[in-house]
Amino acid sequence: HGKTLHLHSEHLDIPRNWLASPSKYSSTSSTEEVDPGCWNFVDMLKHKDTWGQDSVVCSLEDLAQKGSQKAQIELLAMASSANADAHAALERLGNGVVPEVSRPDFLKAQVTSNMKTLQCTEPTKWAMTLNQWNAIVEECKSSYLFREIKHSKKSFEQFVSVYDINEYFVKPWTRGKGCGLALLMNPDGKDAQIMLSHAWGEDIEELYQALNKHFESQGIDKDKAVWFCTFAQYQVQDGQGPDIQMQLDLNPFTTVIQSKQVDRMLAAHTTRADLWERLWCVREVREAMTEKVSIEAAFSDDFVNHFKETYNTMIEEGYTHQDGMEAAGMTVRTSRATCRNEDKAMLLRELKKHGSINDIDSTTTTLRTSMVHRI
C-alpha cells in the first residue's frame, strides 16, 4: 500500500497536536494546507476488502496521528459499525478514550421521542430556514476539516461536495441521535415551504452562493423553510433512527411537493454537477410540473459565466441558437441520468406516469431553456 499512500507522512502539513485541541485550527487561514491531490480516502476505502480492514485501519490511524481530522471521522464511522480494530485505534489516539466529534452549539438540543416520531412519519416537517441552512454551511466552512477535504483532492477538483458534507459533517453530527439536522434545529418540526432540487456532486460553496443570490434577488425571506434532502433525512444507518429506505418508503419528495405549504421549487444550477443528470432530480422536477408548483432556477455566478461563454462562442462561430443551447448542456436526456442501482427501477416507474422518455425530455428541456433566457 506504500506506493498509494506514501505521501501521508511527508506531505501533510498538519499540526501534530490537533487531536488535543482541534478548535485551535478552525480559523479560515489557508497557511496549513495539504499537498493537492496527495491522498484520497475514497480510493483507499474502496480497496479495503482487497487490502483487509486491518491495513486500512492502520493507514487511517497513522494519518490521524499526524493530525488528519478526515481520518479520525473515517475511524469513528468504522467503529460505529462494530469494527473492533477501528475502536482500538481510536482508543490509542484518545489515550484510552474514544474521541467524540464536536457538534456545533445549535445542534446540542436534547432529542425527544416526538422528534424521533416526526423523523419516522412526517417528511414535510423535515425543513429548516435558509438562515439555518447557511449557519450549517458556514460552520462547515470555518473548520480545518473543510479545508483538509478540499485540499486532499487533485488540483482540478478541489471543492467540497454535498457528498463530502454528508459524510464528514452531517453523519458525525447526527450519529446516534435518530434525527436529521432539520429536526435537531427545529425540535417541533418546521413545515416545508420551498423544495430544493439539486445534485449531491455539486460544490457546496457554489450552491451557497447560488441560493443566497436567488433569495436576495427575488426578495424571498431567508426565514422561509427549505426542504434540503441531505439535512432533512437521517443519514446514519445505525439503528438509532429510521434507515434511508424506511424514509424513502414515506415517499418524502412527492409528499413535500404536494404539500399545500410548498409554493415553489428551486432547481440549483451549478458547474460541478448537473441536476438534470440525476434521475431523482428529473423525477422531482417532473412531479412539480404535474402539481403546478412554480419552478425557479437558482444560478451560481460560475454557472452563468460558463453558460454565456459556451453559448456565445457557438453563436460567434456561426452556429444556430439550438446548437448553442446543446453545447451549453441545456438538452435533458433522461435515459442518461444516473442514480443508485437500487433506486433506478422505482424512479423509472414513477417517471413513466408522466409519459415516455421523449415526452419527459421534451417538456423538461423546454422548461430548462425558459429558465436560462434571463441570463
Residue 96, sorted as left (phi over 0), alpha (psi -120 to 50) or beta, turns out to be left
| CA gap 229, 218 in Å, rounded | 23
| CA gap 166, 73 in Å, rounded | 12
pLDDT > 70? residue 231: yes
Instruction: Count Cα atoms within 13 angstroms, Cβ side, for 8.
Output: 23
Tell me the three-class secondary structure of 121-176, residue by residue: HCHHHECEEHHHHHHHHHHHHCCHHHHHHHHCCCHHHCCCEHHHHHHHHHHHHHCC
Quick one: pLDDT band at residue 107, thresholds 50, 70, 90? confident
pLDDT of 7 reads 37
Answer for the pair 67, 15: CB distance below 8 angstroms, yes or no: yes
pLDDT > 90? residue 267: yes
Quick one: pLDDT band at residue 203, thresholds 50, 70, 90? very high
Among 35-49, 67-81, 184-198, the minimum mean pLDDT is found in: 35-49
pLDDT > 60? residue 9: no
pLDDT of 36 reads 33
Rg (CA), the chain: 22
| CA gap 160, 202 in Å, rounded | 8
Among 96-100, 158-162, 215-219, 278-282, the minimum mean pLDDT is found in: 96-100
The C-alpha cell 454535498 sits at 162
Quick one: pLDDT band at residue 154, thresholds 50, 70, 90? confident
pLDDT of 90 reads 84
pLDDT of 8 reads 37
Per residue in 287-328, pLDDT (tens digit) is 999 999 999 999 999 999 999 999 999 999 999 999 999 999
Answer for the pair 277, 336: CB distance below 8 angstroms, yes or no: yes
pLDDT > 70? residue 117: yes
Q: Which of 15-24, 30-39, 68-77, 230-239 has the highest mean pLDDT?
A: 230-239
- Nearest 5°: the CA angle 258, 224, 347 is 35
Per residue in 16-64, pLDDT (tens digit) is 333 333 433 333 333 333 333 344 555 555 555 554 667 888 888 888 8
Query: Do strands 225-227 and 128-129 pair parallel, antiparallel, or not at all (unpaired)?
Result: antiparallel
| CA gap 55, 292 in Å, rounded | 54
Number of H helices and number of E strands within the chain? 22, 5
Per residue in 327-373, pLDDT (tens digit) is 999 999 999 999 999 999 999 999 999 999 999 999 999 999 999 98
pLDDT of 23 reads 38
